[in-house]
Amino acid sequence: MATLTHFDEQGASRMVDISNKEITDRIAVAQAKVIMKPETFRLIMDKKIQKGDVLEVARVAGIMAAKQTFSLIPMCHPLNLASVKIDYTNNSVDTIDVFSEVRVSGKTGVEMEAITAAAICAITIYDMCKSLDKEMIISDMHLVRKSGGKSGTFAFGKNHA
């Protein structure tokens, strides 16, 4: 049975001690979906939302969020991130898929940073469009893959045997 590393032997919360870990290149990719009315989708794609270019504002928000993850999630280490990228795909009708990729050379992974970036990016899309579409749905937020570190590579859906 796996032990939870954020608790000591007495059950007290703690930040994991990474001082003896090796520095390795680590990458994590996360995803979130934003589902909306087709009219809202078209306004975003045509850059006709009055608040500005929704996808570019959301991209900046996602990058900023990755850099602040340690201040949002109690046991996360502050990291000197090497790269944060936000990309989008869409189904040309009503859904925007957000993908965040975070890289670091360090002693701990960047899964939480990638998930936080995707989440805040999706929330920013919602915030910028909520006056037009209060029924938007943020869904399917998850880690897509990660590599580096002692636990190796993980790919969503390939590790559930």
Q: Could you tell me if 136 and 67 are in contact, meaning their C-beta atoms sit under 8 angstroms apart?
A: no
Instruction: Classify 124 as helix, strand or coil.
Output: helix
Q: Could you tell me if 57 and 81 are in contact, meaning their C-beta atoms sit under 8 angstroms apart?
A: no
Q: Give the E-state strand segments of 91-136 in sequence order.
A: 95-106
Catalytic residue, chosen from 25, 87, 97, 127, is: 127
In whole angstroms, what is the distance from residue 12 CA to residue 27 CA?
Answer: 30
Question: Is 87 an active-site residue?
Answer: no
User: What is the strand order of the sheet 137-147 is part of?
Assistant: 83-90, 95-106, 24-35, 137-147, 154-155
Active site residues: 127
